[in-house]
Every structure is written in structure tokens, then in C-alpha cells.
Amino acid sequence: MYWTLELAANLEDAPWPATKDELIDYADRTGAPAEVIQNLMEMDDDGDPYESIEEVWPDYPTANEDFYFDEED
């Protein structure tokens, strides 16, 4: 399983909190790439819902991180 910013961005607007099955359904309904659905299928499923994208991919950059930069600087 691997995540990239582009793949994880497909789950930003998912209905959090969501179970693994709900995330797979959401990804399928919204036309997410097959890699997103494959990654979701490989996740652990203890029945508890995931609260946010950070629980799915802990390295997901948050709004307070300086992930994007201005190329003109």
C-alpha cells in the first residue's frame, strides 16, 4: 500500500468519520483511481471508523504545514 498526495486528495471530502467499507464505497462512487480503492482494501479493519484522512495516511499534510511553496520566492 502506498499513498501520494494526489491519491489521498480523493478522500479529503469523504464523509468522516467513516469505516473502511464506507471509504471504499465513497471512493468507488466518486470515481477515484483504482489505486485509491486498492489502498483502502489493504487497510486494517477492526470495525472502528477512521476519524480523518490523517488516520488513513498519517503523513498527509495538514493546513498548518508549509507543504506548498511559492515558486516566485
Higher pLDDT, 64 or 50: 50
Q: Could you report the per-residue pLDDT of 28-39, keeping only the tens digit for each?
A: 999 999 999 999
In a domain, 34, yes or no: yes
* The pLDDT of residue 63 is above 80: no
pLDDT digits (tens, 9 = 90+) for 8-18: 999 999 999 99
* Predicted local distance difference test score (pLDDT) of residue 61: 85
Residue 64 inside a domain? The answer is no
* Cα angle value 62/57/2 (rounded, 5°): 130
- Tell whether 32 is covered by a domain: yes
Q: Is the pTM of this model over 0.85?
A: no
Contact between 14 and 53 (Cβ < 8 Å):
yes
Domain count, the chain: 1
pLDDT tens-place string over residues 44-56: 888 899 999 999 9
Q: Is residue 67 situated within a structural domain?
A: no
Domain that holds residue 25: 5-56
Phi, psi (degrees; rounded to nearest 5) at 45: -135, 100
d(CA 49, CA 56) in angstroms, rounded, equals 10
Say if 73 falls within a structural domain. Answer: no
* Terminal alpha carbon distance of the chain: 35
- In-domain check, residue 38: yes
